[in-house]
Each structure stands twice: as C-alpha cells, then as structure tokens.
Amino acid sequence: LSDRFDFAIHQMRRFCGVGYVGFNNAVFLSERETADRNYALSYYMREHKVFPPDTHLQDTLDLYFQLCSIETNCDTLAVMAATLANGGVNPMNGERVINNRACRDTLSLMYSCGMYDWSGQFAFRVRIS
C-alpha cells in the first residue's frame, strides 16, 4: 500500500516540479469514516468480478482515501495543469512526465468526470470543447 501511495506522490511531484504536494491526515480519517457509499460500491464491484481475485478491498479503499487526502496549493496545481496542457511535458523543467497518448486520455477523462452526480452534465451545459 505504501509503495503505491509513494508512486502516486512521486508522479504528482514530477507534474509540478518543485511545488508543494502534501498529505492531510485529518481528511484521510474523515474520508475513511464517512465512506459508506464507497464501501457499498466496492462490494458491488467485487460481486461482479470487477477487481482481480486477490484484491484486498480495505487496502484498495485506503489507497483511494489517501489519494483523496493529497493537498497542494494553487501555484502547484497551475503547473500540474500546464503540464497536461503542454502534452505531458512539465513547462518548468522540460521533463516529459507522461506520453502524448496518456495525456490525451487523461484530459478526455477529466472532461466528463469528477463532479459526482453532475459528471458529464457540466461539460454538456457549459459546452467546453
């Protein structure tokens, strides 16, 4: 579990260069304590064999809660966004963080996700494209 979290943090730091990327333990504990829907969905998904057979759901959910608890600031987030806008190349240091296809796919997914019950509706109503 710690290796996967460290990998995610490392990748985020590559996206931003030298900006701030941290972890908020209070948010992690709150996410974990109020995650009834996440638990229900994960058990539903396990029942329908969405996860590999050896998946430990609590570890998977804990990683999700940890990733939800990563914090940053506006300056750092702007560099991360600029890296995506620059085709996966960090504009601050020139490092290719992700390849073109992964960048394109990430942006496509971000276009319609992340707003819970309103995912997709925002893009439709605002008509970003």
Q: What is the 3-state secondary structure (H, E, C) of the chain?
A: CHHHHHHHHHHHHHHHCCCCEEECHHHHHHHHHCCHHHHHHHHHHHHCCCCCCCCCHHHHHHHHHHHHCEEECHHHHHHHHHHHHCCCECCCCCCECCCHHHHHHHHHHHHHCCCHHHCCHHHHHHCCC
Backbone angles phi, psi at 26, to 5 degrees: -60, -40
Distance CA 83, CA 26 (A): 29
What's the CATH code of the domain at 68? 1.10.1500.10
- Given a contact cutoff of 8 angstroms between Cβ atoms, the answer to whether 14 and 102 are in contact is no
On whether both 43 and 104 belong to a single domain, the answer is: no
pLDDT of residue 124: 78
Residues 62 and 73 in one domain: yes
Q: What is the pLDDT of residue 128?
A: 67
**pLDDT at residue 129, as a whole number:** 59
- Which pLDDT tens digits describe the chain residue by residue (129 residues)? 899 999 999 999 999 999 999 999 999 999 999 999 999 999 999 999 999 999 999 999 999 999 999 999 999 999 999 999 999 999 999 999 999 999 999 998 888 887 777 877 877 787 765
**pLDDT on residue 67:** 98
| Domain shared by 77 and 103, yes or no | no
CB 60 within 8 A of CB 42: yes
Say yes or no: 74 and 56 in one domain. yes
Identify the sign of the CA torsion 102, 106, 109, 114. Answer: positive
> 117: which 2 tokens?
């019950």
Q: 121 and 78, same structural domain?
A: no
Give the model's pLDDT for residue 34. Answer: 97
Note down the domain range covering 48.
2-98
Same domain, 90 and 110: no
Q: How many domains does the chain have?
A: 2
Residues 79 and 46 both lie in one domain: yes
Per-residue pLDDT at 114: 78
